[in-house]
Each structure stands twice: as structure tokens, then as C-alpha cells.
Amino acid sequence: MRTVPISVTVNGEVRQAAVEPRLLLVHFIREVLGLTGTHIGCDTTSCGACTIHLNGKPVKSCTVFAVQADGAEIRTVEGLEQDGRLHPVQEGFWQEHGLQCGFCTPGMMMTAVALLEANPNPDEAEIRRAISGNLCRCTGYVNIVKAIRYAAEKMRQPEVAPAVAGGGED
């Protein structure tokens, strides 16, 4: 089996591996790097569960070969939280009940982050257009839209005291 060496910066860390040319980026992320927050929901580029940022753009990582990402910057859901602080989009999804089973959530959030980085004040139609490539089978999208609006508002506010990431159990 022929392999090709690649080097990718993932969530700020340089990762190197020798991969089969046909290895999908999503499998590289999940299985080679062990970052299982990026999910696979289809085999037809339809669901968006695998959405990550490739050089700042949201892409469906099931439809990119790992070798195509050689030299690229990748951001996955695991890279959203910074220094123990949730990204406003993560906060929004938690606050507004933007998820049920959570399977679509990482991809949905990556799309939302990319949207808000490009357009800090989207209206509902713009949000819905942005997430139209991400399917959520559980929620019906209403709370997802709310979650993204919540994040947009939060991100537009001037930085105040840092919110500490919650979620400690017991």
C-alpha cells in the first residue's frame, strides 16, 4: 500500500502522518488523530456532520482526501474551547437547547462559527442559508437558529470578564 507523508496543523498543533492517498480527511481526523468529535452521518456529502474548517472555510471533511489537506490549517470542534472557555457558539447551543442527540452538533457549530466570523450579525434567513448543508434529525432547527443568534449577540459584545466553562458534574 502506497502512502504519502502529510503535515497538517490541527487546532494549532502540527500533526504529521503517512497516509493512503485515498484516505478521507474525516477518517484521518477521527482515526489517525483520534479527534472523534467530527462525525460521519452519510456517504453522499449531504449531512454536514463532518464539517470542519480547512484554512478557515467550513468544508465537509468526508469529501476531501487527507492528502489534499497537506500543509493546511484545520480546526475541529475540539479546537473551539480556548483556555477552558467555551466558544460563544458552544455556549449558545447549550443555553438555547440547540441539540438533542448531539450527533449533528459539532458540524453544525463549525458551520455557525464560520458564518459568524464572516458575518457577525446575520438575520434568520442568513443563518438558515448558512446551515442549509447541515442536517439535524432531532431538533427541527428552531433552537439551532436561536443558539446561533445568541452566539452572534455574545460575540458582538465587548469582551467582559471571562465566562468560565461549565459542565462539571457532581
Partner 1 sequence: MATTQSTQIGGLGYAVKRKEDPRFIRGKGTYVDDVKLPGMLYLDIVRSPLAHARITQIDASKALAMPGVVAVITGKDLEAAGLAWMPTLMGDRQMVLPTDRVVYYAQEVAAVVAEDRYTAADAVLAIDVEYEPLEPVVDPFRALQPDAPLVRPDREQKTNHIWHWEAGDKEATDRVFQEAEVVVAQDLYIPRIHVSSIETCGCVASFDRVSGKLTIWMTSQAPHAHRTVFSLVSGIPETKIRVISPDIGGGFGGKVPVYPGYVLATVASLQTGRPVKWIEDRSENLQADSFARDYHIHAEVAATRDGKMRALRVRTVADHGAFDAAANPSKFPAGLFSIGTGSYDLEAAHFSVDGVYTNKAPGGVAYRCSFRVTEAVHMIERMVDVLADELDMDPAEIRFKNFIQPEQFPYKSPTGWEYDSGNYPAALQKALDAIGYQELRREQAEKRARGELMGIGISTFTEIVGAGPSHTFDILGIKMFDSAEIRVHPTGSALVRIGVQTQGQGHETTFAQIVAEELGLPVENIVVEHGDTDTAPYGLGTYGSRSTPTAGAATAVAARKIREKARLLPRPTCWRSTRTIWSGATTPSASRARPSAPRR
- Residue 139 binds ligand FES (CB under 6 A): yes
- Residue 152 binds partner 1 (CB under 8 A): no
Interacting residue with partner 1 among 94, 133, 141, 154 (CB under 8 A): 94
CB 58 within 8 A of CB 114: yes
Pick 65 or 123: Cβ nearer partner 1 = 65
Q: Can you point out the beta strands (E) in 34-91? A: 51-54, 57-60, 73-75
Pick 18 or 42: Cβ nearer ligand FES = 42
- Residue 129 binds ligand FES (CB under 6 A): no
Please calculate the CA angle 33-14-5 and round it to the nearest 5 degrees: 70
- Residue 43 binds partner 1 (CB under 8 A): yes
Interacting residue with partner 1 among 59, 64, 112, 136 (CB under 8 A): 136
Phi-psi label, residue 109: left if phi above 0, alpha if psi -120 to 50, beta otherwise:
alpha
SS3 content of the chain, % helix, strand, coil (to 5): 40, 15, 45
**Mask 20-39, x = binds partner 1 (CB under 8 A)?**
x-xx---x--xx--xxxxxx
- Residue 79 binds ligand FES (CB under 6 A): no
Question: Scanning residues 99 to 128, which ones bind ligand FES (CB under 6 A)?
Answer: 99-105
**Chain-centre distance for alpha carbon 72:** 16
- Residue 25 binds ligand FES (CB under 6 A): no
**Chain-centre distance for alpha carbon 130:** 13
CB 33 within 8 A of CB 19: no
Residues in touch with partner 1 (CB under 8 A): 20, 22-23, 27, 30-31, 34-44, 46-47, 49, 76-78, 80-81, 86, 90, 93-95, 97, 99-106, 109, 135-138, 165-167, 169-170
